[in-house]
Amino acid sequence: MSTLDKENTVLVNDEVALKEILTPLWARRWKIVFFTLLVSFSVAFYVSLLKPSYKATAILQIGSSKPANTLSIDDAFNESSASKEQIQTQYELLRSRKFAERVISQLNLVQHSEFNSGKYNDKISFFAEMGQRKKNPSIRDIVTDFLARLNISPISGTELVKITFSSYSPELSQKVANQVGVTYLQYQDEIHSASKETTSQWLVDQLEELGKKLEISEQSLQEYRENEGIVDIQGIVGLVSGQLSELTSEALKAAKLQDDLGVTYQEIQKNRLSFEKLLQMQEVHNESAFVLLKRNEEKAARKLNELAQRYGPKHPKRIAAQSELDSLERRMEAQILSVVTSIEKDYFNAVEKVNATEQRLAEAKKDYIRLSRLQNKFSQLSREVDTNKELYNNYLVRLKEADAMGNYKANFYVRFIDKAIMPTGQFAPNRTLAVMISFILAMVFISIVIIMRELLMDTLNSRRKLDNFNEAPILAVLPKIKASSSEKKEDAYSTDNRFTEAIRTLRTALLFNNEKAPPKVIAITSSVPNEGKSTVALHLARSFSEMEKVLLIEADMRHPTIAKNMNLNQHRPGLSNLLAKTHQINECIIRDKNVKLDILTSGISPANPLAFLSMKRFNMLIKVFGNFYDRIIIETPPVNAVSDAVIISKLVESVLYVVHGNRTKREQISSGLRMLKQVNAPIEGVVINHSENIDTDKYQNKYYNSRNNIIKLAARKRG
């Protein structure tokens, strides 16, 4: 299938689905119109009984000023935006019951006739008396009605709020709308006065308590100063801190010197008996006096060496040179001992200095710690004094500010923008609008009910449901046609051309079935009574009679209807009389004068119809009739009601199953077909009767709508 064909198929299905929805509405259009008009007239009548209502509106501005428990000049004269919650609180305040009771009391609305009479006018006394209240209502009795009439609506994006009141009296609606605004202004003044008094008293109490705390803290600070002898604690702590820093520096220097001299001292103690090793020490070797002696020794040694080369050991010059050299060596040894002794003294002095410095440092630390404790306690007492003094001064300033705000009027900036004026015309009830809305709603409601009922009905009342029905083939769909009373009296066959053509379609389906030969003996049954099987049998027999010789047998001896429909005597002899052998065939069969159709009615109803139908004589009668007639159509009782149709189905060649399109449930249809299939009945198919929602054929309706183009042929003479 191409894409275009698929799209066309979808469009066709959508059209069919829409028609399935709209067809029930068109079929029940007069019910819809009646229900809609009934509701509309009822609403119009009800609205006509209501009193006219008038509405008046006043506009207030509720500015943004921050509310608080205490008032200050900054809060009063500096603009600040109030939060949405605070503004919304004011709106809810205007809607509160307490506020409504206040307005009712001020205007004495308890005695007003507005709240003592009902909403109905005096056209009908019953309705006028029905809405009246008791004679002496209280404020609580009418506050609910008052709030229902009052509407507080903020204007979005602004600080404005509309106060609207509706009433049966235009004067009262104006008065109440304005009084609500006035009462709100008075309420704001009362809040300010109460807040100011509360704030002033609270500030006085707080100042008294803070004054006592300040006095106690100052006394504690002075006693501590006197007990500890503190004059300038900051200066003393500074001096001790400086001294502690100096002592720490000296202790570090003395410790370093001690460490340096300690190394030299240990070296001296180790080499004290060896002058050569002492001479190698840097502290001895670099001594200036020792360097000078070393030079003189070297000169004396060179001189002695020169004299030794020239003179002998006993020469006076050599002896003098030797004596000078020995004297220098002794002086060098003495100098070494002097340097070593000096180093030892310096070491011991350094040790003593370190000890003395550490002792002084420890004492300075003790003094600093003691003074720090004094300073901390002093600072704590001083801070307490300063804090109490600052709080006292701040509360004193607040008290002065609160006294200076005696003329400030409200926490919120509130004023009238527009006062309510007396309304000139009523706003309710809007009779035209009410009737129009009721008309539309009633029509929508009844339409939805009808559509939902049709969609939820478990019957074969739509093309979609027929397509999903697979238990038996659908042979034909017969439309629901109501013939006029004159047609019923004149001709039992008279009906709409659509029904006639649908019967002919059923006849064609029976004659031209490709699978088997056309059935000669046809039984027509249904699930339950009143599904139109008698009508279908009569019209199908008439349709076959246009071409051949046909016999219609009414085998429903429990509730026969064919004789009644054809205006015949219901007690005339028929099938039951033939089976009982009380009458002859020519006495029981009726021959229609207009068409080539013979009819065998049920006859007198027997006590046990099933026993009659189970006779071999009934089967023999059908075989005998088959020799004289081209087609035999037998109307049988409903399958689900009695078992007569099951017995008859074994004697025929084809069974047509008639179904009421709008009443018969799917379960009833399935049950009846199942009973027939259990006995292997030759079920030809299902005929949908009384169909309102299924359009059988648009072309057929258009083509056969007019009777003017139909040529009526004369009835064929019987052979």
pLDDT band at 490 (very low <50, low <70, confident <90, very high): very low
Q: Report pLDDT for 12.
A: 42
pLDDT of the residue at 72 = 47
- Confidence band of 235 (pLDDT split at 50, 70, 90): low
- pLDDT of 719 > 60? The answer is no
Of 15 and 656, more confident = 656
Question: What CATH number has the domain spanning 21-198+408-418?
Answer: 3.30.70.1130
Q: Is the model more confident about 14 or about 580?
A: 580
Is residue 302 over pLDDT 60?
Answer: yes
Distance CA 55, CA 151 (A): 10
Q: What is the predicted pLDDT for the residue at 455?
A: 72
pLDDT confidence of residue 37? 93
| Model confidence at 410: pLDDT above 50 | no
Distances (CA, A) of 421 to 113, 133, 159, 172: 21, 29, 21, 11
Q: How many residues does the chain have?
A: 719
**Is residue 147's pLDDT more than 80?**
yes
Higher pLDDT, 307 or 434: 434
Region 637-660: what's the mean pLDDT?
A: 90
Mean per-residue pLDDT of the chain: 76
Residue 631: which H helix or E strand, with range? strand 631-635
In the predicted structure, residue 44 carries a pLDDT above the cut 60 = yes
**Does the structure show a pLDDT above 60 at 636?**
yes
Least Cα distance to 381 among 209, 216, 220 occurs for 220
Q: What is the pLDDT of residues 414-434, one digit of tens each?
A: 778 888 888 888 877 788 888
pLDDT at 665 over 90: no
Beta strands in 118-212 (DSSP E): 150-154, 160-167
Non-local CB neighbours of 98 within 8 Å, separated by 6+ positions: none
pLDDT exceeds cutoff 60 at 14: no
Whether the bond into 316 is cis, omega within 30 of 0: no
Note every long-range contact of 670-678, with CB atoms under 8 Å and residues 24 or more positions apart, other chains counting.
670/471, 671/527, 671/639, 671/640, 672/525, 672/526, 672/527, 672/638, 672/639, 672/640, 673/471, 673/472, 675/639, 675/640, 675/646, 676/525, 676/639, 676/645, 676/646, 676/649
Domain definitions of the chain by residue range: 21-198+408-418, 233-404, 474-703
Phi and psi, residue 606, nearest 5°: -80, 170
Torsions phi, psi for 151 (to 5 deg): -130, 120
The two most distant CA atoms of the chain are separated, in Å, by 210
Distance CA 258, CA 240 (A): 26
Domain 474-703 has CATH 3.40.50.300: yes
3-state secondary structure of 161: strand
Answer yes or no: is pLDDT of 680 > 70: yes
Query: For residues 491 and 41, which has the higher predicted lDDT (pLDDT)?
Result: 41
Looking at the predicted structure, is the pLDDT value of residue 703 above 50?
no
* Separation between Cα atoms, residue 465 and residue 469, nearest integer Å: 6
- The predicted pLDDT at position 197 comes to 64
DSSP conformation letters of 557-605: -SS--HHHHTT--TTS--HHHHHTTSS-HHHHEEE-SSSSEEEE---SP
CA distance 520 to 654: 8
The better pLDDT of the pair 354, 645 is held by 645
Q: Give the Å distances, CA to CA, from 241 to 174, 233, 237, 366.
A: 85, 12, 6, 11
Break the chain down into helix, strand, coil percent, rounded to 5: 60, 10, 30
Q: How confident is the model at residue 76, as a pLDDT?
A: 43
**Residues of the chain with pLDDT > 70: what percent?**
75
- Quick one: pLDDT band at residue 275, thresholds 50, 70, 90? low
233-404 under CATH 1.10.3470, yes or no: no
Q: What φ, ψ does residue 445 adopt, rounded to 5°?
A: -65, -50
218: confidence class by pLDDT, cuts 50, 70, 90: confident
The residue behind tokens 């001189």 is 303
**pLDDT at position 9 over 70:** no
Tokens of residue 148, six digits: 């229902």
Instruction: Say yes or no to pLDDT of 523 above 90.
Output: yes
550, 537 Cβ separation under 8 angstroms: no
CA separation for the pair 557, 573 (Å, rounded)? 12
The mean pLDDT value for 199-204 works out to 72
Span 559-599, pLDDT tens digits? 888 878 777 777 788 888 888 888 888 888 888 777 778 89
